[in-house]
Amino acid sequence: MPTPQPYYPHYDPLRDASPGTGMDYAPTYWRYHAGEPPEDDGPINTDTQADVVLIGAGFTGLATALFLAREYGIKAVVLEANQIGWGCTSRNGGQGHLAWGRLSRSQWVKKWGVDTARRLHANSLEGFEVFKSMAEDPEIDCEPQNHGNLLIAHSEHALKGLQGESRLCNEALGYKTRILDRETVLSEYIGDQECHGALLEPVGIAVQPLKLAYGYARAARRLGARIHTGSPVQAWTTEGGVHHLRTPGGTVRARVVGIATAGYTSPNLHKLTAYRNMPIMANSVWTRTLSDDEIAACGFRSTMIITDTRKLRHYYRFLPEKRLQIGTRSAISGADAQNPKHLRTVREAIARKFPALEGIETPWFSHGWMDISHDMMPRIVQPDSKQQVFYAQGYSGNGVSFSAYASKKLAALIAGEPIAESDLPIFSSPLPGHPLRPIRRLGQRALYKYFQVLDAVR
């Protein structure tokens, strides 16, 4: 295996043509903890061809290769610019939510009415089972913790919102959630000092995300998929229905291509994905191992996945290895990614929530680019019926569990199998563009300032 190129923290999907070639992983605790990556097929080193090419070896590319091989006998070739799971897949919180995109269930009702919301909810429950069966497969070995999901209100106003959401889940969707008061959260789950109460959902699984990706990769290769790392697609032309994907070591020709590049999608990759999601940076820190006294002082009683209700939310959990993992939104551009203020923001949040950890060492700090869809809903589609090009993206920061289901459905689309509920909003249209595309980042900057004010006052 070639020696990796040094990790470049300033990569920016809106500025750089591709995310690199054979670059090392971002400095995450998951990488340290997961051990050596599984074997792969190394960089493409000659012109070659394949029935199906998948671009990107994150959860989506890897699990789609697995489903294609397992369910349809199709041995795909996966082209990955850097390493297995190099993108968001190795940098996330490992929180497997029952979340299809970023809209709340009450927003689904507002947007599409209660019948579609019920169908989407049923679809998400069915899809979550796909993730659960993969995460709990001993051969995949990703340390699943199946406890549910806690949404912590950071203010009284936010708690009222959670109460409404809980009522809607229970009454309109038949999804039995509970509202917990502050004392219950602190005495039974976690001693978050900012907590005003919480919404407890029964569904939610925490995983070690890079181990999950490594498990997908091993299983896909065992069934005949090939995973070529260090093989960025740098140019893509199509002649007579054959796609020519140029990588530094050779061109791969294929009749069918699945795009699984998420927030790392260059606008130059293909017209069908150009500017169809907004790359937004989120970060994560991991503390050193905590002492038993620190754990008691912070009231860490569960390894459940947790998010708070801020607009610029924090997501966090206490890991079985006795560390806290926590992250939030980060820089707007790649150039600003290493600005110390982003780490400071997370460390200040740790101190507010868990005063006993003020000043704690945080040996791992990393960031990644999420694929935020302009309408906050993900898509699994063939965007143009005349082209054998498919994609699953727009997960909007909730891809750990959704990617398993999305991959199963992407594999079905690629294999030519009809989708049962193709009128649901995740299948029925391509990702929308944005009318103010050239100034999206200006808007994002203004929105972050507004959110900071909102988060402080209510």
Ligand X SMILES: Cc1cc2nc3c(=O)[nH]c(=O)nc-3n(C[C@H](O)[C@H](O)[C@H](O)COP(=O)(O)OP(=O)(O)OC[C@H]3O[C@@H](n4cnc5c(N)ncnc54)[C@H](O)[C@@H]3O)c2cc1C
Residue spans of beta strands (DSSP E) within 128-192: 145-146, 149-152, 178-180
> Do residues 400 and 209 touch, judged by C-beta distance below 8 A?
yes
Alpha helices in 173-322 (DSSP H): 182-188, 209-222, 292-298
Considering the complex, state which of residue 175 and residue 286 has its C-beta at the smaller distance from ligand X: 286
Q: Is 149 in the site for ligand X (CB under 6 A)?
A: no
Q: Using CB under 6 A, which residues numbered 216 to 235 contact ligand X? A: 232-233
Write out the binding residues for ligand X, residues 356-375 only, by CB under 6 A. Answer: 368, 370
CA distance 252 to 53: 8
Q: Is 264 one of the binding residues for ligand X (CB under 6 A)? A: yes
Selected from 22, 38, 43, 58, the binder of ligand X by CB under 6 A is: 58
28 close to 364: Cβ distance less than 8 angstroms: yes
CB of 231 to ligand X, least distance (A): 6
**19 vs 383, beta carbon nearer ligand X:** 19
Residue 277 tokens, joined = 């999601």
Report the side by side order of strands in the sheet with 178-180.
Answer: 178-180, 198-201, 149-152, 305-308, 315-318, 324-327, 277-286, 364-373
Q: Per-residue string for binding with ligand X, 62-101, x by CB under 6 A?
A: -----------------xxxx---xxxx-xxxxx-x----
**Quick one: which segment of 55-63, 108-116, 150-158, 426-434 binds ligand X (CB under 6 A)?**
55-63
Residue 89: CB minimum distance to ligand X, A: 3
Does residue number 28 form part of the binding site for ligand X (CB under 6 A)? no
Shortest approach of ligand X to residue 181 CB, angstroms?
A: 26
Closest to ligand X by CB, 123 vs 356, is 123
| CA 451 centroid distance within chain | 22
Q: At what angle do helices 156-172 and 114-135 cross, to 10 degrees?
A: 90
Q: Does residue 283 bind ligand X (CB under 6 A)?
A: yes
The CA distance from 122 to 127, in Å, is: 9
Sign of the alpha-carbon torsion through 367, 368, 372, 377: negative
**Residue nearest ligand X by beta-carbon distance:** 399
- Under rule CB under 6 A, residue 145 binds ligand X: no
User: Where do contacts with ligand X occur on this chain (CB under 6 A)?
Assistant: 18-19, 55-61, 79-82, 86-89, 91-95, 97, 232-233, 260-264, 266, 269, 282-284, 315, 327, 368, 370, 395, 397-401, 403
